[in-house]
Structure 1
Amino acid sequence: MDQDRLERVRAGDGHAFAALTEPYRRELLVHCYRMLGSLTDAEDLLQETLLAAWRGLAGFEGRSSLRSWLYRIATNRCLNAMRAVNRRVPAEPTPPFQPPEPSRRGEITWLQPCPDALLDGIADTAPGPEARYQAAEAVELAFVAALQRMPPRQTAVLVLRDVLGFATDEVADILDTTPTAVKGALQRARAALDGERPPPRPGAAAERELGRRFAEAYTAADIDGLIALLTDDAWLAMPPAPHEYHGTDAIAAFLRASFAYRADRTSHLVPTRANGLPAYGTYLREPGAPAATPAGLLVLASTGDRVHAVTRFHLDTLYPRFGLPTRLD
């Protein structure tokens, strides 16, 4: 660590603090996102973390690395947020049409996508030797959603140990607990994630081609064409709406209702990337209107030559984070 810069921070130099913490900002944001499942909440918690670090740096004694110390602050801030009874959970939206009965009602309605641009060049793309998950795998939607179903402490232990690769003693220090407690929580967390790993993905070229065919069928409202691209056990989810549809018959029923509501409006899809997966910003244009407006972000997860999960996020305010325009002329 730059001791001179640290002393300047302790003397109140805000520019020195920014320079000292800048290398860790992006990885801390991704860490908060994994913990919370919400990009909006993660951004808020990152600001809380940096404010707490600024206020507490005078007491930093250097017994651990600055990175570990920042992770201690961020992790504990996230745990407080996850345990809070008033945690921000989005209101269930009212659908503009009558959807068919869902296969189930999902509980993780706060789940949000994460732009791939945020994942480029962060330090935890080279996790420690203790890690069991690749960085890309550890931001896929299925993995992040699975973390949200676990008790907060188990989520923290698993992310710190198996994703970031911190040693058991380091995790115990970050969470202010014992190595024995860390090992027990990790064992339970790993058991909870058994079977949750997504199936093998196709190669990049095959994934792009599958996405292209999906986009063409979607804009054409070709239900048969879309269903032909899905696995028999595919899932369709739509956070923050809790409605989830399982299997091609249930998904086809929903698409019929959705495309009937679209009627004669024109649909456009613009490609982007989210959580390491192909994604599309969808837009609808009213007849005679000069521009199309956002209508939800689609994220596709594939295996072999089929799509096994479609997640449509009704979060139009996040479009700029994915390099998507707020209107399509």
Structure 2
Amino acid sequence: MTDFERAAAALRGELLAHSYRMLGSWHEAEDAVQETYLRGWRAWTGFEERSSVRTWLHRIATNVCLNAARDRGRRALPSGIGAPADDVDGPPDPLPPQAWIEPFPGDRADLRLALIAAMQTLPPTQRAVLLLREVLAYSAADVAEIMDMSVGAVKSSLQRARARLADVDVQPDDIVEPHSPQARRLLDAYITAFQTANVDALTAALRADATLELLPDRAWFAGVARCSPVFATAVGRPGDWRMDRMVVNGQPAVAAYLHGQPFGIAALDVRHDGIAGVTVFADPALVRRITVGLPPRRAGQDAAGPVQPDGTWPIRMRCG
């Protein structure tokens, strides 16, 4: 393993999480990290260590993500696009794949879906400055170097980003840690309700103000009265569903199988007094990729190269 591969491998998780926060897409974050490694590998011989390898690679990754973010519109969850639906029987109105936020496997609380969605509302430069300063804890001077900005411009961008997010309650005080007994109890109730087709048990686990988002559809539902008929249609018959427990975006979740076939991922927003929200990503490919530990690929795109025991790709295969 070369010096570059060794340095890059140690930072892969951090770079991937940063890219995901910037882009709201697991597969785009993977692509951004691969592009970061490729650029870093090519430039390694000219790296003069005027900054740390971490700062240097985050500069590359941030610029890769900024270019990607500027080339397309922002990703969002349905609740960030329009008002909740009144008609539970309305026709489907699917969002294009590049328009919605994707789930990210893992139990990091700083990757909760609400936080990722809030980040996507910021202009790309403000988003990058906020993440570099407040998540990765770089100094204003370091961010200025990474972003090719003045320190004054960094401080101004950070202030504007904070102001835009001030009214967004992305980390409520009553969030339940995904591995806690309360989270396990509510997740078990959700799974049992689907596997036994008991919509009343499912409704009993929901808060009165619970929301339901069914990606890729644009429609979303707010309140038990609106969510319950949708769930009643979805649960089907006993035995239709199988669900495997997991954690995505720091939230308890399931990989759902309908009639034995992958259906999608459901992430729960669990609070002390019940389930406050369910976000369903109806994408069978996500189930296959998350459950076997492979990075996501675009539809019709095959993965190539061996996978390490921890599910990551070898640096050499992704850079050479």
Under a length normalisation based on structure 1, what TM-score does the superposition of the two structures give?
0.77
Establish whether residue 76 from structure 1 lines up as the match of residue 63 from structure 2. yes
Larger relative contact order, structure 1 or 2 (CA cutoff 8 Å, min sep 6): 2
1:83 corresponds to which letter in structure 2? Answer: R
The residue identity in structure 1 corresponding to 2:89 is P
Q: 1:141: which partner in 2?
A: 113
| SS of residue paired to 2:219 | strand
Question: Which residue pairs with 1:196 in the alignment?
Answer: 169
Kindly tell me: are residues 148 and 88 of structure 1, through their superposed partners in 2, closer, same or farther at Cα, counting changes over 3 Å? Answer: closer
Q: Distance in 2 between matches of 1:167 and 1:222?
A: 52
Structure 2, unmatched stretches of 5+, are 77-86, 294-320
Q: Does 1:236 align with 2:182?
A: no
CA distance in 2, matches of 1:257, 1:212: 20
Q: CA deviation at 1:88?
A: 9.6
* Per-residue deviation, residues 5-64 of structure 1 (Å, max 9, x unmatched): xxxxxxxxx734212311011210111111111101100111101001111223322111
Aligned to 1:7: none
2:182 corresponds, among 191, 201, 206, to 206
Aligned partners of 1:231 and 1:308 also within 8 Å: yes
Q: Distance between the aligned counterparts of 1:213 and 1:265, measured in 2?
A: 15
Alignment coverage as a number of residue pairs: 278
Question: Residue 310 of structure 2 corresponds to which residue in structure 1?
Answer: none
Which structure has the bigger radius of gyration?
A: 1
CA separation of 1:236 and 1:324: change in aligned 2, threshold 3 A: farther
Q: Aligned runs of 1:164-183 on 2, under 5 Å?
A: 164-183=136-155
Distance 2:59 2:224 in 1: 44
- The separation in 1 between residues aligned to 2:119 and 2:171, in whole angstroms, is 13
Residue type matched to 1:113 in 2? P
Q: In the alignment, what sits opposite 1:31?
A: 18
Match of 1:312 among 280, 284, 298: 280
Q: Secondary structure at the match of 2:100?
A: coil
Q: Partner of 2:211: helix, strand, or coil?
A: strand
Q: Does 1:114 align with 2:104?
A: yes
How many Å separate the matches in 2 of 1:78 and 1:57? 20
Task: Tell me the residue number matched to 1:100.
Answer: 89
Three-state SS of the structure 2 residue aligned to 1:272 is strand
Return the match for 1:249 from 207, 222, 225.
225
Structure 2: distance between partners of 1:189 and 1:88: 17
The equivalent of 1:279 in structure 2 is: 253
* Structure 1 equivalent of residue 270 of structure 2: 302
Does the 8 Å CA contact 2:4/2:44 hold for their aligned counterparts? no
Letter in 1 for 2:273: D
Question: d(CA) in 2 for partners of 1:106 and 1:157?
Answer: 29
Deviations 1:206-244 (A, max 9, x none): 111111111111222222221221122211112332221
Q: What secondary structure sits across from 1:242 in the alignment?
A: coil
| 1:35–1:148 CA contact under 8 A, matched in 2 | yes
Q: Which runs of 5+ in 1 are unaligned?
A: 1-13, 90-97, 120-135, 286-291
Which amino acid is the alignment partner of residue 171 of structure 2? P
Distance in 2 between residues matched to 1:87 and 1:206, nearest whole Å: 34
Q: Which residue of 2 aligns with 1:55?
A: 42
Q: Distance in 2 between matches of 1:105 and 1:295?
A: 16
Q: Structure 2 CA distance, aligned partners of 1:304 and 1:225?
A: 17
Letter in 1 for 2:274: R
Q: Which amino acid aligns with 1:50?
A: Y
- Give the drift of 1:87: 8.5
Alignment correspondent of 2:80: none
When structure 1 is superposed on structure 2, of 229-238 and 295-304 the one drifting more is 229-238
CA drift of 1:324 comes to 5.7
For 1:57 and 1:220, the matched residues in 2 are separated by 57
- 2:245 is aligned with what amino acid? P
Q: Tell me the CA shift for residue 263 of structure 1.
A: 5.3
Residue of structure 2 equivalent to 1:127: none
**CA drift at 1:318:** 2.2
After TM superposition, the score normalised by the length of structure 2 is: 0.79
Q: What is the Cα deviation at residue 323 of structure 1?
A: 2.7
Identity %: 38
What is residue 2 of structure 2 aligned with on the other side?
15
Deviation of 1:106 after TM superposition, in Å, equals 8.2
| Greater Cα shift, 34-43 or 311-320 | 311-320
Contact 2:94 2:215 (8 Å CA) reproduced = no
